[in-house]
Amino acid sequence: EVQLVESGGGLVQTGGSLRLACKTSGFTFHEYAIGWFRQAPGLEREAVACTADGATYYYDLVDGRFTISSDNDRNTVYLQMNSLKPEDTAVYYCAASRSWYHWRRNEIDYWGRGTPVTVSS
């Protein structure tokens, strides 16, 4: 029933941009904190950004380069990524948590399957 489907990943050169989308269904969109994690090969999964209750939150790795937004009519969350660097190369996962409180505790209820992003130098 619950689905989080990512799209928009791909190959891009250093300094380029990508816009990821997470289309959700099967749960009450506006009641959840929804955002993005990423995981590079051999490295630990790390949180990127999230949005909840109309607010947005960014983790340090974003360094001012990414913007998260949502379209409530489409139950979709976006991640606009600019000024991409090779170290941004990873599989990006959409995730949903019952609240921002739970998100901060890394208590994630739903995961997408991921979309790969590769940034070449």
Which tens digit of pLDDT belongs to each residue from 11-24? 999 999 999 999 99
Q: Are 33 and 106 in contact (CB under 8 A)?
A: no
Q: What tokens does 25 get?
A: 């269904």
CB atoms within 10 A of CB 49: 21
CB atoms within 10 A of CB 3: 14
**pLDDT mean for each 10 residues of the chain (121 residues):** 97 98 97 98 96 95 95 97 98 97 96 98 91
Handedness of CA 40, 9, 2, 61 (dihedral sign): positive
* Distance (Å, whole) CA 47 – CA 61: 9
Indicate the helix (H) or strand (E) that contains 103: helix 100-104
